[in-house]
Each structure stands twice: as structure tokens, then as C-alpha cells.
Structure 1
């Protein structure tokens, strides 16, 4: 098997798994989005703390 055919076979297997309900009940989109927003705001705050003109 070549690398391309192995990668294609892996992608087909992954796509077949997504058809049968790939979403997990534990992945709440509001919690995920809120956590991402909090992380980005924290990074923004840290960046502005270190980026002060002296």
C-alpha cells in the first residue's frame, strides 16, 4: 500500500464513523465556546500586560 492509499483508507474509515453520530453527549457547545472565549480573553489580557510601552 502506498502512503496516499493508506491515508485515503483512513479518511474513509473516519467519515464512516461520523455518519453514526460522531457527537458525544459530553461535548456541550456552550461550555466549549465559553471555555474557548475565556481562554482567548485570558491570552489577550496577558498579551496586553507584557506589551506596555515603558
Structure 2
């Protein structure tokens, strides 16, 4: 697919419904915070430099 073929489809998707459940800011931010906390835990747990 070329850019000229996909651009109109992406524009229609962007204009679609504004209340998509997977784009909930609370869910997205909470998920990102959870992932970062898990990464922080793993980084500090397996740190062998001490």
C-alpha cells in the first residue's frame, strides 16, 4: 500500500467516534504507570552492581 492509498482511510478513522473505550485517559495512564513501576521493580531487583 502506498501513502496515497492509506491516507484517506486514516483520516476517516481519525474523524470517527470520539468516545472510544480503549482511549480512556484514566485506563491509558494507569496502564502506563503500572508498566513503568514493573520496569522499575525489575531494574532494581536484578541490579548486580552493588
RMSD: 2.0
Higher RCO (CA < 8 A, seq sep 6+): 2
Counterpart CA distance in 1 for 2:11 and 2:4 is 10
- The TM-score with structure 2 as length reference comes to 0.69
Aligned length: 49
Counterpart CA distance in 2 for 1:20 and 1:29 is 18
Name 1:19's counterpart in structure 2: 15
**Local SS of the residue matching 1:53:** coil
Q: Give unmatched runs, 5+ long, in structure 2.
A: none
The structure that has the greater radius of gyration is 1
Q: Give unmatched runs, 5+ long, in structure 1.
A: none
